[in-house]
Amino acid sequence: MTGRTESGTPFEPVYSAEDLAGFDPATTLGAPGAHPYTRGVHPGMYTSRPWTMRQYAGFGTAAESNARYQELIAHGTTGLSVAFDLPTQMGMDSDAPLASGEVGKVGVAIDSVDDMRELFAGIPLAEVSTSMTINAPAAVLLLLYQLVAEEQGADPAALTGTIQNDVLKEYIARGTYIFPPAPSLRLVSDTFAYCAEHLPRWNTISISGYHMAEAGATPAQEVAFTLTDGIAYLQAALAAGLAVDDIAPRLSFFFVARTTLLEEVAKFRAARRIWASVVRDEFGAQNPKSAMLRFHTQTAGVQLTAQQPEVNLVRVTVQALAAVLGGTQSLHTNSYDEALALPSAKAARLALRTQQVLAHETDLTKTVDPFAGSYVVESLTDGLEAEIRRLMGEVAERGGAVQAIEEGYQKLEIERSAYDVGLQIDSGERVVVGLNRFGGAEDEPYEPLRVDPALEAAQAARLTRLRAERDQAEVDAALAALSAAATGTDNVLVPMKRALAARATVGEVCDALRAVWGVHRPSDAF
C-alpha cells in the first residue's frame, strides 16, 4: 500500500532498481564538493572535520547569557548561537512601553554596545564563530558585535559568523518585522555591501526555512519558499549594483530537521541540487562557491512535547541524525525541556552531548553521503525536487517572493498544511508518543528555568545611566546622519556604526529608520 511523505509525494513500501530507471549518477549526483552538490559541498565533508556544533542560547541579562556561553564552550561547543529577546528583535529598548513583560524572556536583552560588551566578556571573538538569530535589526546587532570585537583588538576582516538577516520569512511565518518589504531589502543589500568591504568572512544572511517549518510548512514548502526568498535577495543585491559572485558565496541557509529521517535526508540533498542549478544557470555565477548551498540545521522544536519530556531526547537524536546524514554544515540540538521553558543548564549540556556522541562514537564521519545510490533516498530526492520546483514555479508566477508575500500566498499555504497536521494528530492518524498514544506515564516534577522579573527594571536603570553618561550631542548628530543616509542612497551601516559607537541604543537607531521608512502593516490577505 502506497503511503505519503510529509510533503504529500508517494512513499512506496518497497523500492528497487526499477525506481531509478534513467538515473544518471554523473549528472544527478556528481562528486562530493562538485556541482550539483547533491552529495555535499565539501569533497571530504565530515571525514576531514565534523560539523560545527552550535548551541542556541540567550536569556535574561548579558551577564547571565555570558555565563551560559562560557559553560557551553568549556563543554565542547565549537560555535556560539545567540538568542535575543523579543524587544531586541523588534528594535525596541528595554524601557519602551511595548517591551513591558518581555525583557529577557525568550533571549538576551541587548540595548547598547555596553550590553554587547558584557555578553562576550572573556570570549575572544577573533577565535570563535558566532551566529546571531536576528532579522529586522540584524545590521544593528552585527555592528555592535564588530565594535566589541574591535575593542578586543580583533581584525574585522578575520571575524567569522552569521546573522540571520532574513526579513522576508518574518512576513511569511514569524512576524518580527519592522519596516515594509522594500526598505527591508534595502537594509539587507546595504549589509551585503558593507560586509563585502569590511567583514568579508562573515555570512551576511541565513535564509531561513526553519521558522516556516515550525509554523507548519511541509518539507517541500520549507525548501521552496526558502529558496525563492534567496532568489529575491540575490535580485535585490544585483539591483543595488552588486555582482552575484561577490554576494552568493556568503549566503547561507537555515533548515529544520524532523523525525521523518529518510525524507529529511532527501530534502537536504534536493535543496542543494536545486540551488546549484538556480545560481549557475539563472544568475550566471562563475565562482563554484556561489552555487554551494551551505546550511545550518536545528532540530524540530515544534515536534517536542511537554508530555513525557524525556522522550524528546530520543526525538532530538533522530532529528540530529537526519541533519548529519543530509550533510549539514552546523547543527543545534534542542534541549529536551524546551516545550516547558527555557532550557536548563543540564538539558542544554545533554543536547550538546547528543551531537558529540554522533560525531565521535558512531561511524557517521567515516564516509561522505552514505545514502547515495539508495533506491529509496534517491527516489525521494527526485520526488521532492519535483515538488519543490512546482512550488517555486507557483511563487514565480505571482511575480516572485515579495509579490507572493504581499498576496499572502506562502502564509496561506503553510497554514493549510499546519491545519491538516493538527487534524491528523487529533484523529490519531498521526501518532505522537505520549500525546495521543502511549500516554499515562507519570512525569517527574519539573522546575523550569525562570527569568528574574527584576531584570526589566535593571535594564531600564542601565539605560538611564547610559543616557546620562554619553555625549548626547554626538549621538544626535550621528542619528541625523543615519536619517539622511536612509532618505538617500548612501549605505546606512556607515553612519549607523558611528551612532552605536557613540552609545546610541538599538531602539534609537531603529526609531531613526522608522521615521524615514515607516513600519510594515500586514494587508487583509494575511
Q: What is the pLDDT of residues 209-240, one digit of tens each?
A: 999 999 999 999 999 999 999 999 999 999 99
Integer-rounded Cα Rg, in Å, for the chain is 23
The mean pLDDT of 290-294, rounded to a whole number, is 97
Domains assigned to the chain? 41-427 (3.20.20.240)
pLDDT at position 451: 75
pLDDT band (50, 70, 90) for residue 442: low
What does the alpha-carbon distance between residue 335 and residue 8 come to, in Å, rounded to a whole number?
29
Report the residue count for the chain: 526
The mean pLDDT of 436-450, rounded to a whole number, is 76
Residue 300 phi/psi, 5-degree rounding, is: -80, 100
pLDDT tens digits for range 152-204: 999 999 999 999 999 999 999 888 999 999 999 999 999 999 999 999 999 99
Please determine, for residue 113, whether its predicted confidence score (pLDDT) is greater than 80.
Answer: yes
Please determine, for residue 317, whether its predicted confidence score (pLDDT) is greater than 80.
Answer: yes
pLDDT at position 454: 87
pLDDT band (50, 70, 90) for residue 477: very high
pLDDT tens digits for range 379-432: 999 999 999 999 999 999 999 999 999 999 999 999 999 999 999 999 999 999
Instruction: State the chain's mean pLDDT as an integer.
Output: 93
pLDDT band (50, 70, 90) for residue 526: very low
What does the alpha-carbon distance between residue 467 and residue 478 come to, in Å, rounded to a whole number?
15
What does the alpha-carbon distance between residue 392 and residue 397 come to, in Å, rounded to a whole number?
9
Peptide bond into 36 cis (omega under 30): yes
Which residue is listed with cell 524528546? 312
Nearest Cα neighbor of 48 from 372, 371, 366 is 366
C-alpha cell at 116: 554587547
C-alpha cell at 334: 534542542
pLDDT band (50, 70, 90) for residue 524: low
Count CB atoms within 10 A of the CB of residue 122.
Answer: 9
Q: Is the model's pTM score more than 0.75?
A: yes
Q: Which helix (H) or strand (E) holds 203?
A: strand 202-203
| 513 in Cβ contact with 396 (< 8 Å) | no
pLDDT at position 373: 93
| 180 in Cβ contact with 522 (< 8 Å) | no
pLDDT tens digits for range 4-35: 999 998 999 999 998 888 788 877 888 999 99
Per DSSP, the residues of 269-322 read HHHHHHHHHIIIIIT---SGGGG---EEEEE-GGG--SSSTTHHHHHHHHHHHH
What does the alpha-carbon distance between residue 59 and residue 85 come to, in Å, rounded to a whole number?
7
Where b means 16+ CB within 10 Å and e means fewer, 6-17 reads bbebebeeebee
What does the alpha-carbon distance between residue 54 and residue 9 come to, in Å, rounded to a whole number?
32
Please determine, for residue 469, whether its predicted confidence score (pLDDT) is greater than 90.
Answer: yes
Residue 196: Cβ-neighbour burial (10 angstroms; 0-12, 13-18, 19+): middle
What does the alpha-carbon distance between residue 268 and residue 301 come to, in Å, rounded to a whole number?
18
pLDDT tens digits for range 55-104: 777 777 899 889 988 988 888 877 788 989 999 999 999 999 999 999 99
